Amino acid sequence: MTNYLPRVVDAELAELLQTVGAVVVEGPRASGKTATAMRAARSQVLFDVDDNARRLAGVDPAAVLDGEAPRLIDEWQLEPSVWNHVRRAVDTRRLPGQFILTGSAVPADDATRHTGAGRFARLRMRPMSLFESGLSGGEVSLAGLLEGVEQRAGRADLPIARVAELICSGGWPGNLGSTLPRTLRANRAYLDEIRRADVAAVSGKSRDPVKVGQLLRSLARNVATPVSMSTLATDVRDSAPSLKSDTVAEYLDALERLMVVENQRAWSPHLRSRQSLRTTPVRHFVDPSLAVAALVATPERLLADVEFLGLLFESLVIRDLRAYAQAADAEVFHYRDKDGLEVDAVVETADGRWAAFEIKLGERWVDVGARNLRRLAERVQGSAPSALAVIVPSGYGTWRRGEVGTIPIGTLGP
């Protein structure tokens, strides 16, 4: 695997394999799970390409577990019965690092997974961040910001036209080195397969690919916004009046279980004032290139609609923040209250430290973002932020205690 580019989750996977008996690596198809798992595994079985292994699993699931540990069981959800056999093997062996299970869909019936407590750990993979693909130097560390470490980076310039290209191409490892026209076609084919086959497969029932496509387009038009389920259903029904709201909800559930759609939950801090918080999640594709593919857009079309391009840039930054935050045992939220204050990203660690970020497409909007961040810090009770910063395409990377910093996305890393 000489062309493998290191991933942020490599270290997480290595650590988990020293801690628990089995690690479940989950993420959308083509995000690089198998390549990453293969580097850590010493033997493997690939259910998506080995029909004989799947037949064997159906007759004698325990037989496919034989092999040097860690043993990779790729796309395990294609034979869900293997889950309980892995659990039993972990219990019998009583050693960490026995299995790596990868999956690009959450099985519809989760009952078989509940017995994994204490034996399994889950690790989410997403498409490559700019740092992983070599497009960010990573001089400004998110982990460092959460520790309150002052940071500085030289000027990094990412022209808006280049931003549009990166949004369109996305972070899919298989597209690295390909031309932009080929990448655009590949991303559309990826989404076409999801609407034609994958949604039906994960739902366990027939689905209308045309209507699934309409929902994907609605999600794309509303990317990086807290669009409600009812609004999505109304939007889809404009094209398909016979489609029921419950069915739209089922389609969306399938897309979430395929991990191509990932909501950004609302943050609930302790506030000095009695603001009512808005709890509707912000909708994102796991990679903004899927929104582009759903709308059959190009960089030129995005540049003609700067407001929409700004939302897609926000989605790209959220993708990267999620990768870096996970490595720091943190999660990415959004903040919105009924007084109109909105902050694009709040990263909170398991022990309660937090940093907040506004995401702006140009330096001329930095002051607006900085004002929002200061207002948020004033409203949070009993917990000062570790860092406040505005993330932009270009500029100098600086952050000092007590100030609102500026971070070009080309300098941000784990």
Percentage above 70 pLDDT, the chain: 95
Per-residue pLDDT tens over the stretch 256-275: 999 999 999 999 887 665 56
Q: Is 356 within 8 Å of 343 (Cβ atoms)?
A: yes
- Rounded to whole angstroms, the Cα distance separating 354 from 146 reads 6
Nearest to 266 by CA among 321, 373, 345: 345
Nearest to 148 by CA among 397, 387, 406: 387
Instruction: Tell me the whole-structure pTM to 2 decimals.
Output: 0.94
Q: Is 46 within 8 Å of 73 (Cβ atoms)?
A: no
What spatial distance separates the first Cα and last Cα of the chain, rounded to whole Å? 24
Per-residue pLDDT tens over the stretch 374-389: 999 999 988 999 999 9
pLDDT reported for residue 21: 97
Nearest to 324 by CA among 41, 132, 167: 132
The arithmetic mean of pLDDT across residues 103-129, rounded, is 78
Structure confidence at residue 54 as a pLDDT band (50, 70, 90)? confident
- Rounded to whole angstroms, the Cα distance separating 252 from 243 reads 13
Name the more confident of 254 and 246. Answer: 254
Scanning 80-171, the segments in alpha helix (DSSP H) are: 82-93, 142-146, 160-169
Per-residue pLDDT tens over the stretch 230-246: 889 888 877 777 677 78
- Rounded to whole angstroms, the Cα distance separating 111 from 102 reads 18
- Residue 238, CA distances (Å) to 214, 221, 241, 243, 308 in order: 10, 14, 6, 9, 22
Please count the residues of the chain.
414
Phi, psi of 324 (to 5 degrees): -70, -40
- Rounded to whole angstroms, the Cα distance separating 130 from 403 reads 26
Scanning 331-388, the segments in alpha helix (DSSP H) are: 366-379
Phi, psi of 353 (to 5 degrees): -70, 150
Least confident piece of the model among 35-44, 151-160, 235-244: 235-244
pLDDT of 191 strictly over 80? yes
- Rounded to whole angstroms, the Cα distance separating 398 from 391 reads 11
Torsion of CA 49, 52, 58, 64, to 10 degrees: -90
| 3-state SS class at 18 | coil
DSSP structure string for 216-262: HHHHHHTTTS---HHHHHHHHHTT-TT--HHHHHHHHHHHHHTTSB-
Helix (H) and strand (E) counts in the chain:
15, 14
Q: Is 18 within 8 Å of 121 (Cβ atoms)?
A: no
State the burial class of residue 225 (Cβ atoms within 10 Å of its Cβ: 0-12, 13-18, 19+). Answer: middle
